[in-house]
């Protein structure tokens, strides 16, 4: 029952965040919605029992790429918060509204449920026994990436290279004529 609820909440967060990225016109909001969508994907991986992939999702995509995008938007002046309104007064950026608070609470709930699922599995299957030899899954995953799934590995490396080149093109200063 718990896994089903976590799966449904993660799926709603993933799909809702993806639709919000498409529908928003503010690039900063799109970064935050992408963050919530990727957190939902990590929750989906946890419900599938792929803890390593969920941790990789959090570290690489949530912790790396989305934060890099947020810094790129902030450093390149993507915000228009200091423009003046029609009365000549400068706008004061809001701390949030009901929509952003709702999305934040749903995201926090999914993250909380994911952590509870991980901790409950640890507690459920914990037994005081003699520690056996550790079998690393990272080595098995690495061998599969360079043998059976080398095409997917190469395609993902080309996509990451394209993202890096695109970020460099976006971040470069514009020439004025």
For residues 93 and 151, give the distance between their C-alpha atoms in angstroms, rounded to a whole number. 46
In percent, the amount of the chain with pLDDT more than 90 equals: 14
CATH class entry, domain 1-80+96-125: mainly alpha
Output the six-digit token pair for 145: 């990436």
Neighbours of 173 (CB within 10 A): 6
Torsion of CA 71, 77, 78, 82, to 10 degrees: 120
- For residues 32 and 60, the answer to whether their CB atoms sit within 8 Å is no
pLDDT in tens, 29-66: 888 898 899 999 999 988 887 777 888 888 888 888 87
Question: In terms of residues, how long is the chain?
Answer: 177
Domain locations in the chain? 1-80+96-125, 133-177
- Termini Cα distance of the chain: 63
* SS3 state of residue 90: strand
Residue 147 has pLDDT above 50, yes or no: yes
């Amino acid at each position: 029952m718990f896994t089903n609820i976590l799966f449904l909440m993660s799926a709603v967060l993933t799909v809702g965040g993806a639709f919000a990225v498409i529908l928003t016109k503010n690039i900063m909001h799109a970064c935050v919605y992408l963050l919530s969508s990727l957190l939902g994907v990590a929750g989906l991986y946890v419900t599938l029992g792929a803890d390593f992939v969920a941790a990789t999702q959090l570290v690489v995509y949530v912790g790396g790429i989305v934060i890099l995008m947020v810094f790129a938007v902030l450093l390149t002046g993507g915000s228009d918060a200091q423009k003046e309104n029609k009365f000549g007064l400068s706008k004061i950026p809001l701390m949030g509204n009901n929509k952003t608070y709702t999305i934040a609470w749903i995201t926090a709930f999914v993250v909380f449920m994911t952590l509870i699922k991980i901790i409950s599995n640890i507690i459920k299957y914990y037994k005081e026994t003699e520690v056996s030899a550790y079998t690393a899954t990272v080595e098995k995953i690495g061998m599969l990436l360079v043998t059976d799934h080398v095409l997917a590995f190469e395609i993902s490396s080309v996509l990451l290279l394209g993202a890096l080149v695109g970020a460099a093109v976006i971040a470069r200063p514009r020439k004025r004529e």
